[in-house]
Structure 1
Amino acid sequence: MDLQSLLRERRLLAIVRGRHAESVLETVLALAGEGVGLIEVSLTSERALDVISRARTALGSETVLGAGTVLTAQDARDARAAGAEFIVTPGIGDGALEARHVSLPAIVGALTPSEVIAASAIGADAVKLFPASSMGGPDYLRALRAPFPDVPFVPVGGVDAQSGRRYLELGATAVGVGSPLIGDAADGGDLEALRERTRAFLRIAAEAGR
């Protein structure tokens, strides 16, 4: 799987984290039903590996499903066994290194220039700029792209509709969006509101930065 090309094509990575496994699964299926093609299930969610396995069985090939908050080598192996097609890490560590070892595509977290260099050096398919909002948001991405014009950045952390559009206009490969998109759906909340927000974010992803 060419994860970098999928990120460039789809522009939106939905990040699902929740306290109730059934609600997390329903959220994943609702996102896929609205056309979100890249979905990350955080391993901090209740029974996350079971959710990934069940969602992978239920979803067609158009939806690419990954595991997030992958910290350890065992996390990476477990995610792969559950059916995750890529992993996402908050930083550079054993989870990212194991993903490379088992040929599992990885979006590796980094914030500083030194971390961007390190993530690229271990073969990250994309760099998760995290937490993006803590360093000035879109303006920080613009500053980083000057020395790293060829690095595929995926800003994550505090990305809402307005900043998401701006990140994409400034050259982000894709944006990763959690609570501003998911709301309370993964904790048993309103799925119809989730669907409405999803349609809005998909419009932004289709329009921005083209």
Structure 2
Amino acid sequence: MNATDVLRGHRVVPVVVLEDPDRAGDLGAALVAGGLPVAEATFRTPRAAAVLQRLARRGDLIVGAGTVITARQVDLAHQSGARFVVSPGLSADVVRRCQDLGLPVIPGVSTASEIMAALDLGVDTVKFFPAEASGGLPTVKALSAAFPQVRFVPTGGITERNAPDYLAHPAVAAVGGSWMVAPGLLADGRWDEVAARCSAVHDLQGAAP
């Protein structure tokens, strides 16, 4: 099973940076209430594994680990219940450890050489990161022309405004974004607003190409 299979057609993945694990329950409830039961819990905070674990324990969310940069973090993500792993770059150690564990992985790339390295590792779904800073949709179009077998998950600078353009391209499997789970919303406990923004995402997703 690859990452796009795990995502089950959810083409917009909320990228979550949450400091307090005690708020994970409220966040999970908001995601489910908004009809977007998927999240990438990033390993950018000291208690990220605890956040991931609490989200995964709900049983009604597809939860992955993001910003995974070492094989040790892969193990931690797996132990915490991650269903998939996302990395900002291409690490052979991270990819191989995920493969050892049967854990779908989406490594980060921004160049043709990195895509070739990913293909050498048996990976054909990659995170295009940082998307907007790396040329945005025109770069995705150029790379997909050279690598028609590759599916892209652009992340970095993706907003409610530009997400539909990315999602309309047949090489784009999904996008990652944080506008529906913005840190300010999470810090203030504005769960109704999180749910409302997740609900609005349904109009953006469309069917997978």
**TM-score, structure 1 as length reference:** 0.89
Amino acid at match of 2:17: R
Q: CA deviation digits over 1:71-95, x for unaligned, max 9?
A: 1111000110111111110011232
Counterpart of 2:152 in structure 1 is 153
1:34-113 mapped onto 2 (5 Å cutoff): 34-60=34-60, 63-93=61-91, 94-113=93-112
Cα RMSD, aligned residues only:
2.0
In the alignment, is the contact (CA less than 8 A) between 1:49 and 1:79 conserved in 2? yes
Change (3 A) 1:32 1:119: farther
Q: Which runs of 4+ in 1 moved over 4 A?
A: none
Deviation at 1:36, TM superposition (A): 1.5
TM-score w.r.t. the length of structure 2 is 0.89
Partners of 2:128 and 2:51 in 1: CA distance: 26
Cα distance in 2, alignment partners of residues 5 and 85 from structure 1: 11
Q: Determine if contact 2:18/2:51 at 8 Å carries over to the other structure.
A: no
Report the residue type matching 1:122 in the other structure: L
Q: Say how many residue pairs are matched.
A: 206
The answer to whether the 8 Å contact 2:64/2:84 transfers is: yes
- Unaligned runs of at least 5 residues, structure 1: none
Aligned counterparts, 1:58-207, within 5 A: 58-60=58-60, 63-93=61-91, 94-124=93-123, 126-171=125-170, 172-178=172-178, 180-183=179-182, 184-206=184-206
Q: CA deviation at 1:7?
A: 4.3
Which runs of 5 or more residues in structure 2 are unaligned?
A: none
CA distance in 1, matches of 2:25, 2:15: 12
C-alpha deviations, 1:35-93, integer Å up to 9, x for none?
21431100113411112222222232xx3111111111110001101111111100112
Residues 1:45 and 1:28: Cα distance change in structure 2 (over 3 Å): farther
Q: Which amino acid aligns with 2:177?
A: V
